[in-house]
Each structure stands twice: as C-alpha cells, then as structure tokens.
A and B are shown apart, each in its own frame.
Chain A
C-alpha cells in the first residue's frame, strides 16, 4: 500500500449525495473530489487523475455511461463504480461492458458500501 492517500472522484447531480459520500470516504482516509455534473466530472478527472470514481448513471447534462466511456478512453486502469436509482439489468450489463468495476443500486447498505471501498479502493 502506498503512503500517498488514495483519490476518489464522486460524481452525482444530487449535491447532498456528493457531500455525504465524500465525508464518508474521508473518514476512511481517502481524498474525495466532488463533481455535480458530467462536464465538471471530466474536468476534475483531467485535473486530479483520481484512482477511482463513484459515478451516478443518470445526470441531466451527460449520462454516466457516456462519461464512463470517455474516461476509460483516457485511462483503462481507473476503477469506476456506477451508482443508480434503478435496478436495471440492461444498464448494468452495459456498464460492465464499458469497463465499470461494479454497479450499486440506491438505497444502499452502507456496511456493504464500506466493504466495497475496502476491496476496491483501499
């Protein structure tokens, strides 16, 4: 494990969720970078080069799958975890195809989320 803190980008158009998740991650010793739109997500990604990304699948300006594809074009190694409000098998398959590591559906079990952060990020 490196000495430098891991960086995670959190993308969701609901700012309340971005705030909560970043606080949640900070407590686990991760540097959280916030973005509340698709455009902002791409910009912050290029600035900070995070190790992993929590990515909301439905956003008004750019949908999560498009962002996923664009980011994966830049860096295939970045770990992307999709977050969505609906349990849609088709979307799930698409996300996996485009290289997402996992797909979690709201409402989420925070203890499971914490386990996933341990597995994927830390």
Chain B
C-alpha cells in the first residue's frame, strides 16, 4: 500500500493549477511536507530579483527550529547555491542530503580532494545553520529560482528515494507557481505604467487649451475632480454598467471636454463683453471640434461622447444636437453639471463668481430642466455630506486622477 502522504502531496501539486497566488500555494505545500513527512521544520529560499539573493520567504514547523520568514538569506556565492549552480562542482544536482555530505567528506582522503573537502565542510556548516537535513532545488530552465530545505524527521529516520522524488515534483510546482506570479506581477506593472502614461499625456494635452483660454486654467482639473466625485456618489445609488471602464472614460472625457476650444479664435474666447450671435455660434462649435480631435483615437470612442454632448440639456434646449433626457449619455450629463457648477463659482472678466451655496440653489432650480435629475441628486448628496465642494476639490487634488483607489 502506498503511504498516505503520496496522496496529500499529489493534491498539493494539483493545487498549483487552481491557486493563482504563489505564496498561498507555497504555504500549502510546506504544510503538507511538514505534516506528511513528519519533519520538525521546513522552509523555502526564494530568489529575490531586486537584491539578487535568496531569502527564506515561507517556513513551517517547531518554534525555535523553523527559520522565521524574512529573517534569513543566502547569497549567490554561498556553498548551498553554488552546489546547484556551479558546473565545476561535479556532484548529483537533484538534491543534497546531510548524510551524503558526511559520507562524502569521509571519502576525501587524498591531497587532490582538499578543495572539494573544504567545499563540503562549508556546505555542512551552512546546513547546520539552518538545521537542514535535505535540500531540494527548484529550477526554471537554467535558473535556480528557489531551494526547499527540510529539517530532521521526528522519528530521526532518513529520507527515502520515493519521498525525495516527490519533493522534487513539489519543488518544480513551486517554481511554476512563482514564475506565473512573477509574470503576472510584471504584466500588471507594465499595465500600470502604460495607464499612468496615458493619463499624464491626456492631462498634458488637456492643459494645452489653458495656454489659450485663461479662464480654463485649473478649470479642467476641477471639473474632472467633480465628475469623479459625482460618479462615485451615483454608483452608491444605482448600477453603472462597466464601472471601471466608465470611470476611465469619464476621467479622459472630463479632462478633454474643452479641448475643442483650441479651434476657437482667442479674440472670442477671451472677449470681455457679451458675444454676438455669430460669435456664439462659433464658440458653440467647440464640443464638435473636440469630438473630431478625439475621433482619431480608437480607445477614446466612448470618452468622445462625453466631450461631444457636454453642452446638451435635459429638456433638449442644449447644443449641438438638442438631445433630450436619457438620450444624453450619462458621461456627458455628469460633465455638463460639473462644468456648469465650476463656471458659476469662478470669477470671469465681466462678473464675479457666485457663492457655492447660491450656485447649488441655482442648480437645484433647474433639476430636470437643464440637468438630469439623478445626477443632480448625486451632486447634492456630496455637497451635503462633504461640505463645500471647493474645499473637497483641494483635498482630492491631482492625485485622484491617477490613483486607482478613490474613496467617495
């Protein structure tokens, strides 16, 4: 009859496929080894790419014997690592047993054995530091990724051939789990870098309009922040389809909502008296100009809607398409409200900005006329729970645009 531990080890091995977190899997494997092989303790050195050394990352077993996780390391030049990686050391690489080290030292009798004897003595010393009786390497191709080390068995017996074979299987499972985890980590890091780059590029482009239109300085960023706050408040009250993507598109659209003003003459943008009909028409073309600019970027197709329709009004009296009610995409309804609110409270060349309380009052009056009712409700909710939005805006500031975690 096959011993029970075989089954347990096989189960642990199979879990490699099911468990995506490498550390969880390694913990399970070590627990299985300690309980099934009845060793006093066991641990694993894992290669640390940054420090270029091997650190005990997980350990199990008796207090005092198990090496605390994160407490100890071995360097690349240590006897244990060299045993497995140095080709000039001509000894079996599948594992090292304490008993084999002792017997090999005994064999070293002639003068030409001095070098290997010295190496084996150093290896023996290293084994004793960790209380190790067996070490099993984990390789990925030619790279030593980890080393499994086992303490003495509770019954003090030596490890059998079959046990050692199973340990090798487990070691290679650990390696696969680690490699996968590292791959995913690298991938996620790359995605994060790309996303950051994207938002920074968007922010840089969006701020180009500020060079031309003095009024927009800071405006774009504030509007983007209000938009995010509204979106989070809305999400608490209703289901928003594809939330993560929605939020990304909203950030981009909010930052780009006035990008079309690049195509409007400065003389009109910065005019200090009321505009005539002709000039109004020109300035009202900025949502479409903006949409045309963004149309070149496929990834921005949905964000584009926020730019294109951010001057539409709930009752159909907005521009350029006179869309009504739910025909206006949510992304645009949010920007419309945030944009208007910021415009109301900001000083203009020809008038002072109104107080926040007054602006809120005005917005409440046109709920369901100029703005979508549920968007206004969400906005009022933030205003009442968070206090003045301007202060809120200072708090959340720029990093909100780039961070993943938003706390509304």
Contact = CB atoms under 8 A, between A and B. Distances in A.
Q: Do A and B bind each other?
A: yes
Interface string A10-41: 00001111011011100100000000000000
A108 interface: yes
Nearest to B63: A19
A12 B189 CA distance: 35
A68 B389 CA distance: 50
B16 to A, nearest CB: 26
B383 interface: no
Contacts, number: 49
Contact of A107 (B56, B78, B130): B56
A107 B71 contact: yes
Interface string B51-87: 0000110000001111110111111001000000000
- Ordered nearest first, which 7 A-B pairs have the shortest CB separation? A107-B73, A23-B64, A110-B129, A19-B64, A16-B68, A19-B63, A107-B55
Interface residues of B, number: 20
A14 B128 CA distance: 23
Interface of B: 55-56, 63-68, 70-75, 78, 125-126, 128-130
Interface string A83-122: 0010000000000000000000011111100100000000
A17 to B, nearest CB: 5
A106 B70 contact: yes
B64 A108 contact: no
A24 B128 CA distance: 10
A119 B354 CA distance: 76
20 contacts: A15-B63, A16-B63, A16-B66, A16-B71, A17-B71, A19-B63, A20-B65, A20-B66, A20-B68, A27-B128, A106-B70, A107-B56, A107-B70, A109-B72, A109-B73, A109-B78, A110-B72, A110-B130, A111-B78, A111-B129
Nearest to B68: A16
B68 A14 contact: yes
Given A16-B66, A20-B67, A107-B70, 9 more contacts: A14-B68, A15-B63, A20-B71, A107-B55, A107-B71, A107-B73, A109-B72, A110-B74, A111-B129
Contacts of A19: 63-64
Contacts of B78: 109, 111
B129 A17 contact: no
Contacts of A108: 71-73
Contacts of A107: 55-56, 70-73
Contact of B71 (A22, A27, A106, A111): A106
